[in-house]
Amino acid sequence: MTGWYKIIPTGPITIGNLTPVGQNSGQVGCRWPPNGHQLAACLNLPSQSQLWGPFWEYNSNFYVPLPLPVYTLDLNITSPNLPTNLYRMQWNEQQQWQVQPEHRSQEFEMIGGQYLIPGNTLQLFWQEQKLIFQSGTAPDNVLQPLPWSSLTLSHNRRQDFQVVEEGGFFAEQTTLMAPGWSILVKIIGDYQPPDWGILGAGTPVTMSPIQEKNTWKWLTASCPQPQGGILLTAALWQQPGRKISVPKPPGVKAYAAEMGIPWQSWKKVRDRKDPNRRVSVLTPGEWMTPAGAVYLWEGTPPVSESGPYPDAFHRDALGYGHLWLF
């Protein structure tokens, strides 16, 4: 049934990574956070249901990434301290992002994407364009450091339980979530997930319902003439009419976005040796824009209600491209 669920990993999560390491080897990395397809597989989501997420939950509070064009006047912040002030960058007449006028002679530090922020706090901050905390620690400060870290595990390459290459090894990078945190998703449809599932390379996860709060309804807020939108979940944008990945949807005059990360899915193609047979192959060359991007519309906005951006391939049904309009 329609509702919110939290997914709690029981250990490190490995997504799309097992790389031989040695001289001139490729880069080792682990995909994170899980995308909509990976979450749908974890939930065993039926095709008639839809998914929102991933978002983040801690103590029944809803968190999203701090948008990219955000800076602080605090310099050299060290853990466990947090920034005591946040400011939103502005798009100026010279067609570039700039700090607010009163800060143009001051030093600042870009911190967008480096923290999580409660959803209701994000709304207030984005409207006021600044946010001042009483201190750099909780409970006065509601920001949260990213609640995950990477672990690199190495092991000898084995075949049939025997070491194949003495001295050679594989590196496996995994992601470990901080205690108390969970992945938050919404399932839309007549479906209740099982209590247990598998995410990534065999990591068991628990799944349990969580009561929706009124403060979460901003995710679908209407905005008749929005100036822009904040990307709350990763998106797969393409040039209209062409299969080329781009960092923004159509109709955008300005944006701030991180470099895209590789995204792959399976597709069916004809077998080279037997045209009557179809085989599954990976689709390379598609790049996913991470959450936290900010877009400013040019002319008439293409949407007027917050939510997953409509997609020709129906990937919005799996939570891709969730925009909060402002």
- Mapping DSSP to helix (H, G, I), strand (E, B) and coil, where does residue 82 land? coil
Residues 26 and 156 in one domain: yes
Percent of the chain with pLDDT over 90: 70
Question: Measured between alpha carbons, how far is 159 from 181 in angstroms, rounded to an integer?
Answer: 37
What pTM value is reported for the model? 0.89
**pLDDT tens-place string over residues 237-254:** 988 777 788 999 999 999
* Chosen domain end from 216, 239, 274: 216
Residues 108 and 182 in one domain: yes
**pLDDT tens-place string over residues 157-174:** 666 666 566 555 666 778
Query: Whose CA is closest to 69, among 87, 93, 92, 95?
Result: 87
Domain that holds residue 44: 3-216
Residues 291 and 207 in one domain: no
Tokens (6 digits) for 231? 């990307």
Q: How many domains does the chain have?
A: 2
Residues 209 and 285 in one domain: no
Residues 64 and 193 in one domain: yes
Q: 10-36: b or e for each residue (b if 16 or more CB lie within 10 Å)?
A: eebbbbbbeeeeeeeeeebebbbbbbb
Residue 141 has pLDDT above 70, yes or no: yes
Cβ-Cβ contacts under 8 Å for 41 (sequence gap 6 or more)? none
